[in-house]
Amino acid sequence: MHDGPLEARAATAPYPGGMELWIWILLAVVIAALLVVIVTTMRAIRPKAPGPLDAGVAAPSLASPARPLSARDPRPAPPAALTPAVTARIDALVAAEQRISAIKVLREASGLSLREAKDRIDTWTPSAPAVRPAVTPPYPQAGSASDALARLSPEVRAEIGRLVAADQKISAIKLLREATGLGLKDSKDAVDAWR
């Protein structure tokens, strides 16, 4: 047979399109690698469905607040209790119409989401500063309301008188109960009879 250029070309190109086999294999490997990368990326960015309520969360302990075990667990941890200092700071910010700063302080202190913190700040009413006795006297062992009223300090007496005059009887009752340890009914009766 004759070994011309046509026969030499037929020996190196087994396919009619003229491409060699190793090029087809390389193209198939590149396409497969691209598919693996695309599938992996799509799985990583797909939102996860929430699991059962009791799976993936440790039992709460008194030492630390409950936190999800997994970083991908969509359930938030319960908000931590606010300290009086944080509450006072939020009160001051809300009173000064600095709601964004108040939201930041609340989120840092409690771990709430932005929406939850915003909702709480939108409905936040600054608490009135209550006058507290310097040292809370021990609760009376025995005796009447008149005995407890007789032991009140002059500062607490003056504050209760001011609250009664300002028609803030509930605040006066609270202060009287804290200062004397009287029950609700006795404190209410004493504030109603206050002169």
pLDDT tens for residues 22-46?
A: 888 999 999 999 999 999 988 888 7
Share of the chain above pLDDT 90, in %: 10
Question: Could you give the angle at the alpha carbon of 115 between the alpha carbons of 114 and 121, nearest 5°?
Answer: 90
Band (8; pLDDT cuts 50, 70, 90):
low
Measured distance CA(183)–CA(14) in Å, rounded: 102
pTM: 0.30
